[in-house]
């Protein structure tokens, strides 16, 4: 196994909303387990583009997702902004990932600018047996207790950084762990170096079920996932979330 994964700083996933119409079990954005209808504002997307320009960053790929991104009330404006960026940065791949579920989503898909690639996962049910058990926190398992969580996993390398209403993270998944636990450690400025993400990995990968395998396991090689296993830390975090949603500072 590799001795840790670096975050690809030229790839980013933007979780524009946590609203979803499918509510899958084991969702690694906790859309079902800890629902939240918070969306990123167009001002926040504008700030991301402004930072990109000021820092002269060039993106290999910008991926729009969520939640279900087509349920964002201003998704067409967000896609217009990113398509405009793409028109001036031809080498950047701009993608939107959708579950392709239901009439509202399928209607909105039709108005996607041609420059944006649609990745349609065509989900048909909340039960996805090939998901990984996201809510198994390594920190709750004796054999992982003293792990070096800064080693992260393949997702930070393959998918790159995450951005959500609360800031930048080592990956999109980490951003959703933070919004449920309420550590409020999202970076409010675009990170330029690996080291800026190290404290986030140390804290958030400790709760992430993807850390258990670290490397990518092809779906066909995974054990079918039954139900929604949750370890102690997650049970407690969801129960606290239900009582009172953590107060988080926003990116802006």
Contact between 118 and ligand SF4 by CB under 6 A: the answer reads no
Q: How far is the CB of 139 from ligand SF4 (least distance, A)?
A: 12
By beta-carbon proximity to ligand SF4, the closer residue of 85 and 187 is: 187
Give the footprint of ligand SF4 on residues 219-248 (CB under 6 A): none
The contact mask relative to ligand SF4 for 144-173 (x = CB under 6 A, - = no) is --------xx-xx-------------xx-x
Q: How far is the CB of 92 from ligand SF4 (least distance, A)?
A: 22
Question: Helix, strand, or coil here: 183?
Answer: coil
What are the start-end ranges of the E strands in the chain? 11-15, 61-65, 93-98, 117-120, 161-164, 167-169
Give whole-number Cα distances, 119 to 11, 98, 160, 217, in Å: 16, 6, 17, 20
Question: Helix, strand, or coil here: 45?
Answer: helix
Strand order, beta sheet including 93-98: 117-120, 93-98, 61-65, 11-15, 161-164, 167-169
d(CA 159, CA 157): 6
Contact between 44 and ligand SF4 by CB under 6 A: the answer reads no
Beta bridge partners of 15: 65
Token pair in block for residue 184: 């409020």
Q: How far is the CB of 166 from ligand SF4 (least distance, A)?
A: 14
CA dihedral defined by 42, 76, 23, 176, rounded to 10 degrees?
Answer: -30
Beta bridge partners of 11: 61
Interhelix angle 75-88/42-54, rounded to 10 degrees, is 20
By beta-carbon proximity to ligand SF4, the closer residue of 27 and 163 is: 27
Binding test (CB under 6 A) with ligand SF4, winner from 48, 168, 211, 234? 211
Token pair in block for residue 11: 């790839």
The contact mask relative to ligand SF4 for 24-43 (x = CB under 6 A, - = no) is x--x-x-xx-----------
The contact mask relative to ligand SF4 for 83-102 (x = CB under 6 A, - = no) is ----------------x---
Q: How far is the CB of 245 from ligand SF4 (least distance, A)?
A: 18
Q: How far is the CB of 108 from ligand SF4 (least distance, A)?
A: 15
Q: How far is the CB of 184 from ligand SF4 (least distance, A)?
A: 16
Contact between 72 and ligand SF4 by CB under 6 A: the answer reads no
The residues binding ligand SF4 (CB under 6 A) are 20, 22-24, 27, 29, 31-32, 66-68, 99, 123, 152-153, 155-156, 170-171, 173-174, 204-205, 208, 210-211
């Amino acid at each position: 196994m590799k001795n840790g994964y670096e975050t690809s700083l030229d790839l980013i996933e933007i979780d524009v909303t946590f609203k979803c119409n499918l509510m899958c079990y084991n969702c690694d954005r906790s859309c079902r387990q800890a629902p939240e209808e918070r969306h990123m504002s167009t001002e926040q997307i504008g700030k991301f583009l402004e930072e990109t320009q000021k820092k002269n960053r060039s993106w290999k790929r910008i991926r729009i997702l969520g939640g279900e991104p087509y349920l964002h009330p201003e998704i067409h404006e967000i896609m217009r902004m990113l398509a405009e960026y793409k028109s001036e940065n031809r080498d950047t791949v701009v993608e939107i990932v959708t579950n392709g579920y239901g009439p509202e989503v399928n209607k909105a898909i039709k108005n996607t600018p041609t420059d944006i690639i649609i990745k349609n996962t065509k989900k048909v049910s909340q039960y996805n047996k090939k998901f990984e058990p996201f809510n198994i926190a390594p920190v709750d398992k004796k054999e992982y207790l003293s792990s070096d969580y800064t080693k992260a996993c393949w997702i930070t390398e393959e998918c790159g950084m995450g951005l959500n209403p609360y800031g930048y993270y080592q990956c999109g998944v980490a951003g959703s762990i933070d919004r449920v636990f309420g550590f409020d450690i999202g970076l409010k400025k675009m990170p330029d170096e690996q080291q800026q993400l190290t404290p986030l990995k140390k804290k958030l990968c400790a709760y992430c079920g993807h850390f258990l395998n670290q490397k990518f396991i092809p779906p066909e090689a995974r054990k079918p996932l039954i139900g929604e296993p949750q370890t102690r830390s997650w049970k407690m975090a969801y129960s606290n979330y239900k009582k009172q949603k953590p107060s988080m500072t926003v990116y802006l």
